Amino acid sequence: MIRRRLIRAWQELRFRDALLLTFLPLLALGFILSASVREYLRARVYDDWYARGVSVRGQFSSRVRMIAKLPASLRLRDSFSPDDNDAGVIRFEVPGARWDSLEVVGDAPWAPWLDGTLRYGGTSLPIRLRKRGDNSVHWLTEKRSLSVRTPRDDFYKRFRSFALSGKDVLPSYVANRMAQSFGLLAPTTEVTPVYLNNRFYGVYRFIEVVDESFLRPLNRMPGNIYRGDAAERGEYQKGTARNLFANPRIWDRASANDRWTSAGSGQLRLLLEDIAGTTFADHQRMMGRLDRGEYANLFAYLLLMGDPYHIDGVHNQLLYEDPSTQKLTSIPWDTRLRDLSNAEQPLNDLFRAVLRDPYVVDSTMMEIAARVANDSVLHDVKRLIDATTARYGRYLAYDRQRTGIIPDVGDAESSIATMRGNIALLRRWLDNDSVASRATPTAAGIVLDLETRGHVGADLVSFVVSQPVSGATVRLDANANGVPDASDPLIPLRTESSASTTRLVPARPIALLPAWDTRTARILAGHVPYRLFLSGLGSGVTVTPELRNRATGRTIAPTTLADGAPVREGLAWHPWAFP
């Protein structure tokens, strides 16, 4: 019956009816295609990673997918209430004509400030806002990233200025919020739904702007905050070096200490000179301006988030100078949650110089070991994600329906999967504890050469001697001249004897610290040589070092360092050279 009716309807179909039935879908497809071409042509104006990825096919597909998801999107949007008194929701009121002007204002001279009103909870205040961002992902879509300022005597919560970023909202929130749990000097960040003129505009990541007011709630004294970000924005002097660590002139100060006791920007210039230095004295001066513990926590944090790369040589550099100590602290900015195994580019010059310090590398691995034990860092991330999705899950789901038309806001599953992958990789680093060993008999005793070859170091806890001995001594080749002399420190020993062997146990384990190879984008295990002199052992004995992984405590079986193989220069400054 149904088949007969369809056949009859087809036979009775007139040309006008067929034209009408096909015209409307074709008109809709033409509209989608023209919008896709328009977005592609707008993107061609720029030459950055986002603009280069925009294509007509991708824009067309995104719009078709969004139309297919339209019923679900409308149901979600209908559940939003602009009258919701959640204090985390921001509502902007901006005259429509002024807001629409952002669509046609060119980005080269940057965008004008627009006057408006901000409402949150039961509070309202006047504000000024404009587009922001250092690449076109923040400007090209209908969901633009924004800078917001309040009048001098008004505050949004405790903030006079802040940013709203529409890109990678959930994973970036997690990555940047986690900085606080590592004890780092980091700006406040939150997930914030935004309404514009009583219509939901998008879910954003709220970002505190780093300036002098940033320091006050953190109980830090007002001081210089050196900002290296101009080169990425094109605001630098033509014909000069774009690398921040080669050109102090393209730094500015987000917070300025111009008291008579301050050296102005002198500390920054001295730091850049030491970073460019090639001697151990240069390194010691540089580390005198920094705090090893702070940088170990910073590197542990960045590695677990998978992003030691985004604080690079052309942007995202923020250094706070404590006026009471002249120490410089790195402020993490715009950290991404990403796959650590996907090495992006070599580390910046400052990070590479600091990581030549074996004590920083060692402390970094210790911090990572503590964080991955019992998956504690993963549980912290899950708690952040669960709390955020419980509060704003509907807003995030709505924006995910628009992915491709607006930047992806991210999701819980992929964020947790990325963290799991980074933790698994860093656990492999913690197990990478290779040490090569060679004992060479000499007339004076035994020369023991050891070389760390893993990401993590070893503790030399004892020397196992193949026969009973008494009166044995151990010296470290601290001056690296290859032969024993009076300047080499003598190690206090405890002797544990049995019928056939002797264990020479140092009063404290001898730390064999690791090195990292940062010469390429991927952070590889490096090597550090160590030489010890054992005497008073008698003839015909063998010595076997007993080693433990410094981070996990597991026993390390040393590999063999080939006889006659030269001792390689280490990739880190030698630990025994430090005072």
**pLDDT exceeds cutoff 50 at 46:** yes
DSSP code at position 458: E
CA distance 374 to 395: 32
pLDDT at 108: 45
Q: Report in angstroms the alpha-carbon separations of 308 from 64, 231, 357.
A: 37, 19, 17
**Cα–Cα distance measured from residue 25 to residue 108, given in angstroms and rounded to the nearest whole number:** 39
- β-bridge partners, 225: 255, 320
Give pLDDT, residue 7. Answer: 60
Contact 99, 115 (CB under 8 A): no
Higher pLDDT, 456 or 443: 456
Is pLDDT larger for residue 209 or for residue 83?
A: 209
pLDDT(175) > 70: yes
Contact 299, 348 (CB under 8 A): no
Per-residue pLDDT tens digits for 56-66: 787 777 777 77
Which two tokens mark 462?
């004892």
Q: What is the pTM of this model?
A: 0.90
pLDDT of residue 132: 83
Distance of CA 369 to the CA centre of its chain: 18
Beta-strand runs (E) in 246-308: 252-255
Q: Which two tokens stand for residue 28?
A: 């809709």
Task: Tell me what the mean pLDDT of segment 449-474 comes to.
Answer: 95
pLDDT tops 70 at residue 142? yes
The per-residue pLDDT of the chain, averaged, comes to: 88
Residue percentage of the chain with pLDDT more than 70: 89
Quick check: 170 and 177 in contact, CB under 8 A?
no
Contact 551, 458 (CB under 8 A): no
Q: Which residues contact 270 (CB under 8 A, 6 or more apart)?
A: 285, 289
Tokens of 52: 């280069």
DSSP string, 13-24: --HHHHHHHHHH
Report whether 411 contacts 417 (CB < 8 A): no
**What confidence score (pLDDT) does residue 41 get?**
74
The one-letter amino acid code at 80 reads F
Smallest CA-to-CA distance from 309 within 271, 287, 342, 283 is with: 342
Confidence of residue 42 (pLDDT cuts 50, 70, 90): confident
C-beta of residue 477 within 8 angstroms of C-beta of residue 484: yes
pLDDT of 29 higher than 90: no
For residues 265 and 251, the answer to whether their CB atoms sit within 8 Å is: yes
| 385 and 567 Cβ atoms separated by less than 8 Å | no
Residue-wise pLDDT for 256-288, tens only, equals: 887 766 667 788 999 999 999 999 999 999 999
* Contact call for residues 472 and 444 (beta carbons, < 8 A): no
Is residue 395's pLDDT more than 90? yes
User: Could you report the per-residue pLDDT of 202-221, keeping only the tens digit for each?
Assistant: 999 999 999 888 988 888 88
Whether residue 517 contacts residue 428, with contact meaning beta carbons closer than 8 Å, is answered with no
Going by C-alpha positions, the residue among 168, 158, 163 that lies closest to residue 87 is 158
For residue 290, the number of C-alpha atoms closer than 13 Å in the C-beta half-sphere is: 30
| Nearest CA among 210, 93, 218 for reference residue 159 | 210
CA distance 144 to 164: 9
pLDDT at 355: 98
CA atoms of 335 and 398, how far apart (whole Å): 24
Identify the pLDDT of residue 44.
72
Which of residues 237 and 159 earns the better pLDDT score? Answer: 159
| pLDDT value of residue 100 | 75
What is the percentage of the chain residues whose pLDDT exceeds 90?
Answer: 63
Ramachandran bin of 110, using left for φ above 0, alpha for ψ from -120 to 50, beta for the remaining angles: left
Query: What pLDDT is recorded for position 351?
Result: 98
Residue 109's pLDDT is 47
**Residue with more model confidence, 320 or 42:** 320
pLDDT by residue (tens digit) across 517-572?
A: 999 999 999 999 999 999 999 888 999 999 999 999 999 999 999 888 888 999 99
Q: Which of 144-153, 160-169, 261-270, 493-502 has the lowest mean pLDDT?
A: 261-270
pLDDT of residue 352: 98
3 state SS of 192:
strand
- What pLDDT score was predicted for residue 423? 98
Between residues 324 and 526, the one the model is more confident about: 526
List the one residue out of 470, 512, 478, 477 whose CA is nearest residue 494. Answer: 470
Count Cα atoms within 13 angstroms, Cβ side, for 218.
21
Query: For position 576, what pLDDT does the model report?
Result: 97
Amino acid letter, residue 202: G
- Residues 6+ away with beta carbon under 8 Å from 288: none
What pLDDT is attached to residue 558?
A: 96
- 112 pLDDT band, cuts 50/70/90, is confident
User: What own/partner pairs with CB < 8 Å and gap ≥ 24 does 31-39 have?
Assistant: 32/60, 32/63, 32/64, 32/67, 33/60, 35/59, 35/63, 36/60, 36/63, 39/140
Predicted local confidence at residue 186, as pLDDT? 95
**b/e per residue 315-353 (b: at least 16 CB within 10 A):** bbbbbbbbbeebbbbbbbbbbbbbebeeebebbbbbbbb
Tokens of 498: 């049995």
β-bridge partners, 398: none
Q: What is the pLDDT of residue 274?
A: 96
Phi, psi of 332 (to 5 degrees): -65, 135
List pLDDT tens digits, range 331-385.
999 999 999 999 999 999 999 999 999 999 999 999 999 999 999 999 999 999 9
Contacts for 15 with CB less than 8 Å, ≥ 6 apart: none
CA 61 from chain center: how many Å? 32
Sign of CA dihedral 559, 563, 568, 572: positive
Residue 555 DSSP label: E
In this structure, how many other beta carbons lie within 10 angstroms of the beta carbon of residue 437?
A: 20
